[in-house]
Amino acid sequence: MNRFLWVEDFGGEMTVQATVKSVFGSLNHFPELSDRTDKYDLCELLEPYISLALNFSEALAFIVDPDKLHKVDYVILDVDLPIDEGDSQYSDEVQNMLRDILGRYAGENDKQKEEGLKKVAGYQLYLELIIKRGFPENNILFCSDHADRLETIANAFSQAKISVPVIFNKGQKQEITTWLKQRIEPQTDYEYLRKGVLEACEHLSAEIERDKSNIRFGDFLKRNGETVKPEDLYAEMKDYLHTLQTLLPVREPQGKSKGAALKLFVRTLAHEWEDDATPPKLNNLSDSDKPLHAFAWIMKCVRNWSTHTKILDRMDERQLAFVFLSGMRVMFKLSNDIQAYEELLLKLFVNKRLLEMTTENEQRQKLSKSYANIMSGYCSDQAEKSKTVTFKNADFITILRAVQNNDKDNQKNFDYIQGLYQIFWHGLSPITLSAISVPNLEQSLGENKIQLEYTCSFTLHNYGTGNDFLNTLACCIYEDSW
């Protein structure tokens, strides 16, 4: 589910139970919610999906913390809030902000100023969210049992020439329920991608913190001639995951801004796969480890292509999800089971399970056709350069990389993004070539085309079984791959 910041002091006429039931009682995610009578007891129960702030200062401290606010999708604000309670300690930034805000309210002393702020504290938090933090105004709901204050709040927005947000009284249970149910799960492709990346980074960060050996990326790195140990990559991987989860803002960018945001994300995602990262060789891997070969080459190609060309500049959310899933699977050790964040990202695909309905012969035909297509481009390149066609390394991935290396501006109009999907299939089910007939290049130079005759075979991978990750991914991407 999406994540909420709920700012509520439980200080109105309603009891804690009644308030919780009124706002979140329609959800089935927290079966024990309606039984809680202590507001402090609620905080732990609601996390991580609902962060509860019980006063103005606590909410302000949450909002000004970029790591906390970035994880929130929606905010529910009470109107009347105590400024602080107890002996809470806040950062200098929060204390300075609080003094500045209180200075704007009339009163002969701090107590009178606090009383003035208290009555419209939610309004002040709203301004901080949308004006200074860029939080989407459509993702904020005012929910209060101070019915007499709601009209005052609405008038304050009108006077400030700010569009009036959604404002409900806690007694409007049906309206609150409808608002929540429309937002409890991601709705757009961008929201699914952002949510999946956020939850993946949190999960993987916790996994490597629990056991540093869950970092697999070092197996493919050579530094000073030595394979890098997981513990030596720990700080780097923690920083990498933290950076990734901050790159997709809650407010979905539009137009060119969205393109720039997604391009930055894919470049950062693949940046680790620079020169000292080398995918494992296929002949050294067991059948169960062959996906590592495919996933690693996907990441290596994305890194090189996104750095040196523009052919990946227009990747959409579904394509980015595929690359992200590939990267996390090869860089970190995960079980064969689908992780919760993977289930979320795979919802971007229409899982028609076409793979399971496709015969082995049909699968081989798909592989053969895609191989012939890229080989044709390679041979044309060789003919144009009057070079001899050689087949020291003639696997799909090698040929695809060679074609792209001679086609920086994609003048061939080849779908290299689809090529990334095809790396998955060819990486798991590599080609065996035989009976190659190399044509006479001199006779082919007129059309810059040559016909290569060869016979080939493919040893099909089982692509996983049942509902494990590999099989589910294969089913999800099958339609996009050809």
The answer, yes or no, to whether residue 46 has pLDDT greater than 90, is no
What's the pLDDT tens digit per position in 213-236?
999 999 999 888 889 999 999 999
Lowest-confidence segment of 118-132, 313-327, 408-422, 439-453 by average pLDDT:
439-453
Q: How confident is the model at residue 44 (pLDDT cuts 50, 70, 90)?
A: confident
Q: How much is the CA Rg of the chain, to the nearest whole Å?
A: 28
Listed residue (207, 212, 211) closest to 234, CA to CA: 212
Q: What is the pLDDT of residue 201?
A: 98
Identity of the residue numbered 333: K
Q: What is the pLDDT of residue 441?
A: 45
Q: What is the pLDDT of residue 445?
A: 43
Q: At 50, which helix (H) or strand (E)?
A: strand 50-53
What's the pLDDT tens digit per position in 318-338?
999 999 999 999 999 999 999
Please state whether the peptide bond connecting residue 48 to the residue before it is cis, i.e. omega within 30 degrees of 0. yes
Average pLDDT over residues 15-26: 79
Average pLDDT over residues 276-305: 93
65 φ, ψ (degrees, to nearest 5):
-90, 105
The β-bridge relationship of strands 453-458 and 431-437 is antiparallel
Q: At 376, which helix (H) or strand (E)?
A: helix 360-384
Identity of the residue numbered 38: D
Listed residue (1, 169, 9, 140) closest to 63, CA to CA: 140
What are 280's two structure tokens?
A: 């494992």
The answer, yes or no, to whether residue 15 has pLDDT greater than 80, is no
Q: What is the pLDDT of residue 383?
A: 66
The answer, yes or no, to whether residue 250 has pLDDT greater than 90, is yes
Q: State the average pLDDT for the chain.
A: 87
What's the pLDDT tens digit per position in 59-95?
999 999 999 999 999 999 998 899 987 667 889 999 9
pTM here is: 0.89
Q: What is the pLDDT of residue 450?
A: 54
Q: What is the pLDDT of residue 439?
A: 53
Side-chain half-sphere exposure of 56, counting CA atoms within 13 A: 26
